[in-house]
């Protein structure tokens, strides 16, 4: 078995990161692997990603030694709290709007200004302070918004710094993938026109549960979103208008992408705003976004 999924977690009050077991019932602590085999590994998963291939080689060496010696045992996954892969990102999350034709179609009557299919990627950001992990609470911010919505998305983790990246080379800058729920206050989004405020309130960026390494990823992903067990979104990333390579190329023109940056690739149809009448999120609702190759990101509204 090779290394496929990484995660940040809290165990016995201590935040750390590690490698999931193949059956995903346990996690090997990077701290324990470092201590057992005297192979330096950084304290956080974000720092590890920034080491690029050198970090992966170091982790693989520790992993292979442990496969032989069994010096380190996995921690049972049901005894840890899984956190966002990067609980404290240092830059805003890059996001893409209007990247699925069906999502554009479902909004054309409600928001005609969003109806035209874009000829260039629509880019915005979410504040770094909005990130939370799976099973954490999404605050409803009732005094600020009455139209709370979900957007299940595939997120790309950038693995090395680059600028003016060609589309042909773009996938070489991908470290891995995770899930992101682009929680949105539709009334703020509408009232302020620019989307940043309506998408950046605290807890509006659930992310996780795991980081799937690029080499373990399929060529495309199926995304489903459920609210209280009811299927709302079901699509494939193969339906995206703009490919991941094109998005990376576009974002990097004249502006460096940094190792550890997160890029959310857009949401398919089935958002609450798209129903008639709209089905916005309410207190006690549970939202689960699943990408089978990665896992399930679940959060409850408070």
Return the CATH number at 297.
3.90.850.10
Q: How many domains does the chain have?
A: 2
Range of the domain at 212: 93-301
- Domain contains 273: yes
- The pLDDT value given to residue 112: 63
Rounded CA gap, 69 and 76, in Å? 19
The token duo for 272 is 């609450």
pLDDT tens per residue across span 6-25: 999 999 999 999 999 999 99
Straight-line distance from the first to the last Cα atom of the chain, in angstroms, rounded to the nearest whole number: 40
Percentage of the chain exceeding pLDDT 90: 93
- The pLDDT value given to residue 103: 86
pLDDT category of residue 114 using cuts at 50, 70 and 90:
low
In degrees rounded to 5, what are phi and psi of residue 45?
-65, -35
Q: Is 100 in the same domain as 198?
A: yes
pLDDT tens per residue across span 50-69: 999 999 999 999 999 999 99
pLDDT category of residue 240 using cuts at 50, 70 and 90:
very high
pLDDT tens per residue across span 190-231: 999 889 999 999 999 999 999 999 999 999 999 999 999 999
Q: Which of 82, 109, 138 is the last residue of a domain?
A: 82
What are the Cα distances from residue 57, in Å, to 18, 137, 172, 255?
A: 15, 36, 17, 29
- Alpha helix (H) residue ranges in 113-179: none
Q: Is 102 in the same domain as 195?
A: yes
Q: Is 70 in the same domain as 200?
A: no
- Domain contains 88: no
């Amino acid at each position: 078995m090779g290394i496929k999924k990484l995660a940040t977690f809290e165990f016995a009050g201590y935040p750390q990161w590690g490698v999931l077991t193949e059956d995903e019932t346990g996690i090997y602590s990077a701290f324990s692997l470092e201590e057992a085999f005297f192979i330096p590994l950084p304290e956080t998963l974000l720092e590890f990603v920034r080491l690029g291939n050198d970090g992966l080689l170091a982790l693989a060496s520790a992993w292979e030694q442990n496969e032989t010696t069994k010096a380190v045992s996995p921690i049972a996954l049901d005894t840890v709290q899984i956190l966002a892969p990067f609980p404290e990102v240092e830059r805003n999350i890059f996001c893409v709007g209007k990247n699925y034709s069906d999502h554009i179609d479902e909004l054309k009557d409600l928001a005609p200004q969003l109806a035209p299919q874009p000829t260039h990627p629509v880019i915005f950001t979410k504040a770094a302070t909005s990130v939370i992990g799976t099973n954490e609470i999404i605050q409803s911010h009732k005094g600020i918004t009455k139209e709370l919505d979900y957007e299940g998305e595939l997120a790309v983790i950038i693995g090395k710094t680059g600028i003016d990246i060609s589309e042909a080379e773009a996938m070489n800058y991908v470290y891995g993938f995770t899930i992101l729920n682009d929680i949105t206050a539709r009334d703020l989004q509408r009232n302020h026109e620019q989307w940043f405020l309506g998408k950046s309130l605290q807890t509006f960026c659930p992310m996780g549960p795991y980081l799937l390494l690029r080499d373990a990823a399929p060529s495309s992903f199926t995304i489903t979103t459920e609210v209280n067990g009811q299927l709302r979104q079901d699509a494939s990333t193969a339906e995206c208008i703009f490919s991941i390579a094109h998005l990376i190329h576009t974002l990097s023109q004249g502006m460096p992408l940094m190792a550890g940056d997160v890029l959310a690739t857009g949401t398919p149809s089935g958002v609450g705003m798209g129903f008639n009448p709209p089905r916005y999120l309410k207190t006690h609702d549970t939202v689960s976004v699943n990408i089978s190759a990665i896992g399930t990101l679940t959060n409850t509204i408070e």
